[in-house]
Protein backbone atom coordinates (compact mmCIF):
# COMPACT_ATOMS: atom_id res chain seq x y z
CA UNK A 1 0.00 0.00 0.00
CA UNK A 2 1.22 3.48 -0.93
CA UNK A 3 -0.14 6.26 1.28
CA UNK A 4 0.12 9.94 0.40
CA UNK A 5 -1.58 12.05 3.05
CA UNK A 6 -2.14 15.83 2.87
CA UNK A 7 1.16 16.41 1.06
CA UNK A 8 2.34 19.90 0.15
CA UNK A 9 5.41 21.22 -1.64
CA UNK A 10 6.28 24.89 -2.16
CA UNK A 11 8.90 26.66 -4.24
CA UNK A 12 8.92 30.11 -2.71
CA UNK A 13 5.43 31.51 -3.20
CA UNK A 14 4.50 28.80 -5.71
CA UNK A 15 2.52 25.88 -4.29
CA UNK A 16 3.51 23.03 -6.61
CA UNK A 17 1.59 20.32 -4.72
CA UNK A 18 -1.31 21.38 -2.52
CA UNK A 19 -2.85 19.06 0.10
CA UNK A 20 -2.78 15.93 -2.06
CA UNK A 21 -4.12 12.66 -0.65
CA UNK A 22 -3.86 9.34 -2.48
CA UNK A 23 -3.76 5.62 -1.66
CA UNK A 24 -2.51 3.03 -4.14
CA UNK A 25 -2.80 -0.75 -4.06
CA UNK A 26 -1.88 -3.45 -6.56
CA UNK A 27 -2.96 -1.51 -9.63
CA UNK A 28 -1.97 0.66 -12.55
CA UNK A 29 -2.71 4.26 -11.63
CA UNK A 30 -2.25 7.11 -14.11
CA UNK A 31 -1.83 10.71 -12.99
CA UNK A 32 -2.99 13.23 -15.57
CA UNK A 33 -2.23 16.92 -15.63
CA UNK A 34 -0.94 19.76 -17.73
CA UNK A 35 2.75 20.66 -17.68
CA UNK A 36 3.48 22.27 -14.32
CA UNK A 37 0.44 20.74 -12.63
CA UNK A 38 2.56 19.01 -9.97
CA UNK A 39 2.91 15.47 -11.31
CA UNK A 40 6.71 15.28 -11.39
CA UNK A 41 7.02 17.07 -8.05
CA UNK A 42 4.69 14.53 -6.44
CA UNK A 43 6.66 11.66 -7.98
CA UNK A 44 9.97 13.07 -6.72
CA UNK A 45 8.63 13.30 -3.18
CA UNK A 46 7.30 9.75 -3.40
CA UNK A 47 10.64 8.29 -4.54
CA UNK A 48 12.60 10.27 -1.95
CA UNK A 49 14.42 12.83 -4.10
CA UNK A 50 13.21 15.57 -1.78
CA UNK A 51 10.82 15.62 1.19
CA UNK A 52 7.36 17.18 1.33
CA UNK A 53 7.04 20.45 3.20
CA UNK A 54 3.89 19.14 4.85
CA UNK A 55 2.12 15.81 5.02
CA UNK A 56 3.14 12.17 5.12
CA UNK A 57 4.19 9.62 2.51
CA UNK A 58 4.60 5.90 3.25
CA UNK A 59 5.77 3.23 0.79
CA UNK A 60 4.68 -0.20 2.00
CA UNK A 61 4.85 1.01 5.58
CA UNK A 62 8.18 2.84 5.22
CA UNK A 63 8.04 6.57 5.89
CA UNK A 64 9.97 8.39 3.15
CA UNK A 65 11.45 10.78 5.72
CA UNK A 66 12.30 8.56 8.69
CA UNK A 67 12.99 5.32 6.80
CA UNK A 68 14.11 6.67 3.45
CA UNK A 69 16.55 3.88 2.52
CA UNK A 70 13.97 1.13 3.05
CA UNK A 71 11.38 3.15 1.14
CA UNK A 72 13.75 3.69 -1.80
CA UNK A 73 14.51 -0.03 -1.97
CA UNK A 74 10.84 -0.59 -2.79
CA UNK A 75 10.80 1.78 -5.77
CA UNK A 76 11.85 1.66 -9.41
CA UNK A 77 11.74 5.12 -10.99
CA UNK A 78 11.85 6.51 -14.51
CA UNK A 79 12.17 10.33 -14.43
CA UNK A 80 10.81 12.44 -17.26
CA UNK A 81 14.30 13.79 -18.01
CA UNK A 82 16.81 10.96 -18.09
CA UNK A 83 20.30 11.53 -16.70
CA UNK A 84 22.07 8.20 -17.11
CA UNK A 85 25.77 7.41 -16.72
CA UNK A 86 27.24 8.20 -20.17
CA UNK A 87 30.51 6.27 -19.75
CA UNK A 88 28.86 3.00 -18.76
CA UNK A 89 27.63 0.44 -21.24
CA UNK A 90 23.97 -0.53 -21.17
CA UNK A 91 24.87 -3.82 -19.48
CA UNK A 92 27.12 -2.13 -16.90
CA UNK A 93 24.37 0.35 -16.03
CA UNK A 94 21.82 -2.40 -15.41
CA UNK A 95 24.36 -4.43 -13.43
CA UNK A 96 25.06 -1.36 -11.29
CA UNK A 97 21.35 -0.94 -10.52
CA UNK A 98 21.04 -4.64 -9.70
CA UNK A 99 23.85 -4.17 -7.18
CA UNK A 100 22.22 -1.12 -5.64
CA UNK A 101 19.03 -3.12 -5.21
CA UNK A 102 20.96 -6.03 -3.64
CA UNK A 103 19.52 -8.59 -6.02
CA UNK A 104 22.43 -11.01 -5.60
CA UNK A 105 22.17 -11.06 -1.81
CA UNK A 106 18.57 -12.27 -1.95
CA UNK A 107 18.69 -14.33 -5.17
CA UNK A 108 22.22 -15.34 -6.26
CA UNK A 109 22.53 -15.29 -10.04
CA UNK A 110 19.27 -13.42 -10.48
CA UNK A 111 20.75 -10.16 -11.70
CA UNK A 112 22.33 -11.52 -14.90
CA UNK A 113 19.24 -13.61 -15.60
CA UNK A 114 16.92 -10.63 -15.28
CA UNK A 115 19.24 -8.31 -17.21
CA UNK A 116 19.38 -10.76 -20.10
CA UNK A 117 15.60 -11.15 -20.11
CA UNK A 118 15.00 -7.38 -20.11
CA UNK A 119 17.58 -6.72 -22.83
CA UNK A 120 16.06 -9.39 -25.04
CA UNK A 121 12.51 -8.21 -24.33
CA UNK A 122 13.25 -4.59 -25.28
CA UNK A 123 15.43 -5.55 -28.26
CA UNK A 124 18.80 -4.39 -26.90
CA UNK A 125 20.59 -7.68 -26.23
CA UNK A 126 22.84 -7.28 -29.28
CA UNK A 127 23.72 -3.74 -28.17
CA UNK A 128 24.34 -4.42 -24.50
CA UNK A 129 27.99 -3.34 -24.77
CA UNK A 130 27.16 0.01 -26.37
CA UNK A 131 28.06 3.07 -24.30
CA UNK A 132 25.05 4.97 -23.01
CA UNK A 133 26.40 8.20 -24.51
CA UNK A 134 26.17 6.57 -27.96
CA UNK A 135 22.50 5.57 -27.60
CA UNK A 136 19.69 7.18 -29.58
CA UNK A 137 16.76 8.82 -27.79
CA UNK A 138 14.60 5.74 -28.19
CA UNK A 139 17.35 3.47 -26.90
CA UNK A 140 17.94 5.73 -23.90
CA UNK A 141 14.26 5.56 -23.01
CA UNK A 142 14.34 1.76 -23.17
CA UNK A 143 17.45 1.71 -20.96
CA UNK A 144 15.72 4.00 -18.48
CA UNK A 145 12.66 1.76 -18.46
CA UNK A 146 14.77 -1.33 -17.85
CA UNK A 147 16.47 0.51 -15.01
CA UNK A 148 13.09 1.20 -13.43
CA UNK A 149 11.85 -2.36 -13.91
CA UNK A 150 14.87 -4.40 -12.85
CA UNK A 151 14.82 -5.82 -9.34
CA UNK A 152 12.30 -6.95 -6.72
CA UNK A 153 10.83 -3.53 -5.89
CA UNK A 154 7.05 -3.46 -5.50
CA UNK A 155 6.40 0.09 -6.74
CA UNK A 156 7.26 1.31 -10.25
CA UNK A 157 6.96 5.06 -10.92
CA UNK A 158 7.08 6.12 -14.57
CA UNK A 159 7.09 9.81 -15.53
CA UNK A 160 6.11 10.14 -19.21
CA UNK A 161 7.33 6.64 -20.16
CA UNK A 162 6.13 6.83 -23.77
CA UNK A 163 8.28 9.78 -24.83
CA UNK A 164 10.78 8.53 -27.40
CA UNK A 165 9.22 5.07 -27.82
CA UNK A 166 8.07 3.74 -31.17
CA UNK A 167 4.82 1.83 -31.68
CA UNK A 168 6.44 -1.57 -31.13
CA UNK A 169 8.04 -0.59 -27.83
CA UNK A 170 4.83 1.06 -26.61
CA UNK A 171 3.12 -2.28 -27.20
CA UNK A 172 5.88 -4.10 -25.32
CA UNK A 173 5.67 -1.69 -22.40
CA UNK A 174 1.88 -2.04 -22.22
CA UNK A 175 2.20 -5.83 -22.02
CA UNK A 176 4.98 -5.60 -19.42
CA UNK A 177 3.00 -3.30 -17.15
CA UNK A 178 0.05 -5.66 -17.26
CA UNK A 179 2.36 -8.51 -16.27
CA UNK A 180 3.70 -6.52 -13.33
CA UNK A 181 0.19 -5.74 -12.13
CA UNK A 182 -0.67 -9.45 -12.29
CA UNK A 183 2.41 -10.09 -10.12
CA UNK A 184 0.96 -7.80 -7.45
CA UNK A 185 3.08 -4.73 -8.13
CA UNK A 186 1.94 -1.12 -8.04
CA UNK A 187 2.42 1.01 -11.16
CA UNK A 188 2.15 4.80 -10.95
CA UNK A 189 2.63 6.70 -14.18
CA UNK A 190 2.09 10.07 -15.80
CA UNK A 191 1.39 10.32 -19.51
CA UNK A 192 -0.07 12.79 -21.98
CA UNK A 193 -1.08 9.90 -24.26
CA UNK A 194 -4.63 9.52 -22.98
CA UNK A 195 -5.52 6.59 -25.25
CA UNK A 196 -2.73 4.58 -23.59
CA UNK A 197 -3.94 5.65 -20.15
CA UNK A 198 -7.57 4.81 -20.88
CA UNK A 199 -6.73 1.35 -22.19
CA UNK A 200 -4.32 0.36 -19.44
CA UNK A 201 -5.18 2.06 -16.17
CA UNK A 202 -7.26 0.64 -13.34
CA UNK A 203 -7.71 4.14 -11.92
CA UNK A 204 -6.90 7.68 -12.95
CA UNK A 205 -6.17 10.85 -11.01
CA UNK A 206 -6.46 14.36 -12.42
CA UNK A 207 -4.22 17.01 -10.86
CA UNK A 208 -4.57 20.70 -11.67
CA UNK A 209 -2.53 23.58 -10.24
CA UNK A 210 -1.19 21.26 -7.55
CA UNK A 211 -4.56 20.00 -6.33
CA UNK A 212 -6.17 16.63 -6.99
CA UNK A 213 -9.40 17.29 -8.86
CA UNK A 214 -10.68 13.75 -9.40
CA UNK A 215 -9.77 10.13 -8.66
CA UNK A 216 -11.52 7.02 -9.97
CA UNK A 217 -11.86 4.50 -12.75
CA UNK A 218 -12.18 5.90 -16.24
CA UNK A 219 -15.92 5.31 -16.06
CA UNK A 220 -16.13 7.08 -12.70
CA UNK A 221 -14.18 10.02 -14.12
CA UNK A 222 -16.69 10.22 -16.97
CA UNK A 223 -19.54 10.23 -14.47
CA UNK A 224 -17.86 13.02 -12.51
CA UNK A 225 -17.52 14.97 -15.74
CA UNK A 226 -21.26 14.59 -16.27
CA UNK A 227 -21.44 12.47 -19.41
CA UNK A 228 -20.47 8.80 -19.78
CA UNK A 229 -20.12 9.30 -23.55
CA UNK A 230 -17.19 11.69 -23.19
CA UNK A 231 -13.64 10.67 -24.04
CA UNK A 232 -11.06 10.81 -21.28
CA UNK A 233 -9.55 13.85 -22.99
CA UNK A 234 -12.89 15.66 -22.91
CA UNK A 235 -13.34 14.71 -19.25
CA UNK A 236 -9.91 16.09 -18.43
CA UNK A 237 -10.64 19.49 -19.94
CA UNK A 238 -14.08 19.65 -18.37
CA UNK A 239 -12.77 18.83 -14.88
CA UNK A 240 -9.84 21.26 -15.10
CA UNK A 241 -11.72 24.17 -16.69
> pLDDT per residue over 34-84, tens digit each?
999 999 999 999 999 999 999 999 999 999 999 999 999 999 999 999 989
Domain with 145 in it: 84-152
> pLDDT per residue over 80-110, tens digit each?
999 899 999 999 999 999 888 776 555 656 7
What pLDDT, on a 0 to 100 scale, did the predictor assign at position 109?
61
Of 152, 186, 207, which residue constitutes the final position of a domain?
Answer: 152
What pLDDT, on a 0 to 100 scale, did the predictor assign at position 111?
84
Residues 106 and 148 in one domain: yes
14 part of a folded domain: yes
Residues 104 and 170 in one domain: no
Higher pLDDT, 105 or 144: 144
Residue 119, pLDDT above cutoff 70: yes
Residues 158 and 145 in one domain: no
CATH number at residue 183: 3.40.50.300
Residues 147 and 190 in one domain: no
222 part of a folded domain: yes
The angle, 0 to 180 degrees and rounded to 10, between the axes of the packed helices 90-100 and 110-121 is: 140
Phi-psi region of 208 (alpha: psi -120 to 50; beta: other; left: phi over 0): beta
Residue 15 to residue 214: CA distance in whole angstroms: 19
What pLDDT, on a 0 to 100 scale, did the predictor assign at position 104?
59
79 part of a folded domain: no
Residues 103 and 121 in one domain: yes
Q: What is the mean pLDDT of residues 128-142?
A: 96
Residue 21, pLDDT above cutoff 60: yes
Of 133, 152, 171, which residue constitutes the final position of a domain?
Answer: 152
Residue 146 to residue 125: CA distance in whole angstroms: 12
Residues 98 and 172 in one domain: no
What pLDDT, on a 0 to 100 scale, did the predictor assign at position 103?
63
Residue 215 to residue 44: CA distance in whole angstroms: 20
187 part of a folded domain: yes
Residues 142 and 168 in one domain: no
pTM above 0.75, yes or no: yes
Amino acid sequence: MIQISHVEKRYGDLVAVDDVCLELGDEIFALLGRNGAGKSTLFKMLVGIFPPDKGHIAVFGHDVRRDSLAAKQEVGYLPENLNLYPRLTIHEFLLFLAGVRKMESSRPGSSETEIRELLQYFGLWDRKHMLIRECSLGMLKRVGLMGALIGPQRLVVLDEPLNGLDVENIRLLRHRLRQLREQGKTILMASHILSFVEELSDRVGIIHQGRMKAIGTVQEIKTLAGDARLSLEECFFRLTA
